Amino acid sequence: MAIFSCGFSIFIVVVALVATPIYSKLPLPSPEELAQIPLEFLHFAKNQEIFDWMVGIRRNIHENPELGFEEYQTSELIRAKLDQLGIPYKYPLAETGLIAYVGTGMPPFVAIRADMDALPLQESVEWEHKSRVSGKMHACGHDAHVAMLLGAAKILKQYPHQLQGTVVLVFQPAEEGLGGAKKMVDAGALENVEAIFGLHVSVDFPIGSVALRSGPLLAGSGFFEAVISGKGGHAAIPQHTIDPILAASSIIVSLQHLVSREADPLDSQVVTVANFQGGGAFNIIPDSVTIGGTFRAFSKESFIQLKERIEEVIKRQARVQRCNATVIFNTKEKPFIPVVVNDEGLHEHLRKVAGDMLGSKNVIERKPLMGSEDFSFYQEAVPGYFYFIGMYDQTPLESGHSPFYTLNEDVLPYGAALHASLATTYLLRNLHSKPSPTSPTHDEL
């Protein structure tokens, strides 16, 4: 038997032999009935009581932001809400993450995911629920993502008769560059899962719309740091020094040539040096400087080549200026993030569900972005789909990773309903496409 924690209670999943697979007898809903599910879920999510419940969760998390792998208070809040809903969960995974289960406990299994971490920014938005933690804020909408996933859990518990399988709720830590998704996968978060969906709020699209794309959507990304060492001395006698600032400047210019002169113009790549530290006085040449940045590409092959060339250019250009260079990729703390590639079959599923809920005119094809998302680690394990949900509504909103970032809370019902609808209809549509279970099964979680 498997044991699932739910607050102070222990949920014991009873294993029982089933002589006849009951799911082989269940009728598949008609297309018309399937189309009604998203509308019904959205109507429920827009109920004032449900909306206020999600808003309260989002604001609580926003006031108490936590960085990657530090989301202890956030995780505690999530578990408390799951306890109230009577939903069992496994905790901890990947330090502060958890997964919860809604449904029959039987196949098929489908997952929906939310990230939980904040950013190291000082919030500059003046409102009642401003961050209470100096130097930390939710500037990317992860607080809303958690509220939406809990909202989806509430919907799924309200409509148990619609669940012909099991929905796995994935609450993930450390999305912002730390690869929390990889640790969740390594911890078994996707065990038995056949597909996974994830979303991100977006200021680029209107409220009540979704933006999607089949195939590559977000770039693979990595970080690098280089220490360029020379010989310091007085700025008035540079002939007695080996200037690492000059060497670093040459390196930065040469790194830009990797994209402009070595990459196929039709193969999007980016190399950005965003950090330059060196020197502490106007008249002293330092012994060393440090530069750092990011590189991105839309294919694994291009990404690997870019990494190799970055290291080569830094070291060789340093030698041209009589300096030495050490290049650090530090993948242990900041792992390379794979390309987000959306599954073609799931693309059609999302298009259908979103169209049924929002109308086909509000399902928008979007262009690829050079941003990255560690949701790609899930996609390396199972078919997955990542999409954007619009929240623009007349008033311009600041884009993510800004201290002036604001969130339109009217997006919450749409995210919750889409999560629940995608999972529910996926289970129904895939119920009879899988072999009937012949091994021991267990009752509802």
Which residues make up each annotated binding site for Mn(2+)? 140, 142, 176, 200, 401
CA distance 125 to 143: 15
Question: Strand 109-115 vs strand 195-206: parallel, antiparallel, or unpaired?
Answer: parallel
Any residues with CB less than 8 A from the CB of 222 and at least 6 apart, and which? Answer: 294, 295, 296, 303, 307, 329, 331, 334, 336, 337
Q: Answer whether the bond into residue 108 is a cis peptide, omega within 30°.
A: yes
Any residues with CB less than 8 A from the CB of 345 and at least 6 apart, and which? Answer: 383
CB neighbour class for 13 (10 Å; exposed up to 12, middle 13-18, buried from 19) = middle
Spatial contact of 381 and 185, defined as CB atoms under 8 Å apart: yes
Spatial contact of 99 and 90, defined as CB atoms under 8 Å apart: yes
Tokens representing 121?
């920014």
Helices (H) and strands (E) in the chain, counts: 10, 20
Question: Strand 210-212 vs strand 195-206: parallel, antiparallel, or unpaired?
Answer: unpaired
Annotated binding site: 140, 142, 176, 200, 401
Which three-class secondary structure state does DSSP give residue 217?
strand
Count Cβ atoms below 10 Å from residue 291 Cβ, excluding itself. 24
Positive or negative, the CA dihedral 443, 76, 337, 118 is positive
CA distance 74 to 146: 9
CB neighbour class for 46 (10 Å; exposed up to 12, middle 13-18, buried from 19) = middle
Which residues is 84 bridged to in the sheet? none
Nearest CA among 280, 290, 338 for reference residue 314: 290
